[in-house]
């Protein structure tokens, strides 16, 4: 990715220029994720906690609907106050609320136990939640909220059941 610290941007530019000149081409490098790298938060709420060989926190969200790269590629979201499993005192599997068996955000550990109503804040989710979200099993699309000057929240886009009906 263009914005990784170890990415050799200067060398890539030289290579692209060489190819363009040699073959009389115009190459356009799509910035992809670099445009929204380390941007966006996805906030979910714990709706239930069950035990099945591991404590599982059921969220009011869905990995398959809202952050499908977790399911389809080896991507793991960082979350605020959470880390790898078994590093901190309390480990949970974070699961989505659909009937999809693999609707799992991953296993994370926390310093304090989760409760129903606890907020889980996934970081760096703009590349995934903005362009790949989908409706499945009654799970709504995420709302888009921006933070304005003075820390005021502004709802930019919100979806409801009528959105779902308009797509069928």
Q: What is the pLDDT along the chain (168 residues), one digit of tens a residue?
A: 566 677 787 888 899 999 999 999 998 877 666 666 667 788 999 999 999 999 999 999 888 877 877 777 777 889 999 999 999 999 999 999 888 888 999 999 999 999 999 999 998 877 665 555 666 666 767 777 677 777 777 777 777 777 767 766
Return d(Cα 117, Cα 125) in angstroms, integer: 21
CA pair distance 104, 145, nearest whole angstrom: 24
The CATH architecture of the domain made up of 36-139 is Beta Barrel (2.40)
Report the side by side order of strands in the sheet with 90-95: 82-83, 104-110, 90-95, 55-59, 41-51, 119-123
Per-domain residue ranges for the chain?
A: 1-35, 36-139
């Amino acid at each position: 990715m263009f914005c990784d610290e170890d990415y050799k941007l200067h060398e890539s530019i030289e290579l692209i220029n060489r190819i363009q000149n040699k073959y009389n081409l115009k190459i356009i490098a799509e910035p992809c994720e670099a445009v929204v790298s380390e941007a966006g938060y996805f906030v979910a709420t714990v709706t239930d906690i069950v035990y099945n060989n591991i404590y599982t926190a059921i969220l009011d969200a869905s990995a398959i609907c809202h952050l499908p790269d977790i399911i389809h590629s080896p991507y793991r979201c960082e979350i605020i106050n959470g880390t790898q499993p078994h590093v901190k005192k309390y480990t949970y599997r974070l699961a989505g609320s659909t009937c999809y068996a693999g609707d799992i955000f991953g296993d994370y550990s926390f310093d304090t136990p989760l409760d129903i109503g606890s907020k889980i804040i996934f970081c760096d989710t703009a590349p995934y939640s903005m362009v790949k979200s989908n409706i499945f099993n009654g799970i709504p699309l995420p709302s888009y909220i921006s933070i304005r000057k003075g820390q005021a929240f502004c709802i930019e886009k919100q979806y409801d059941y009528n959105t779902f009906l308009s797509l069928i």
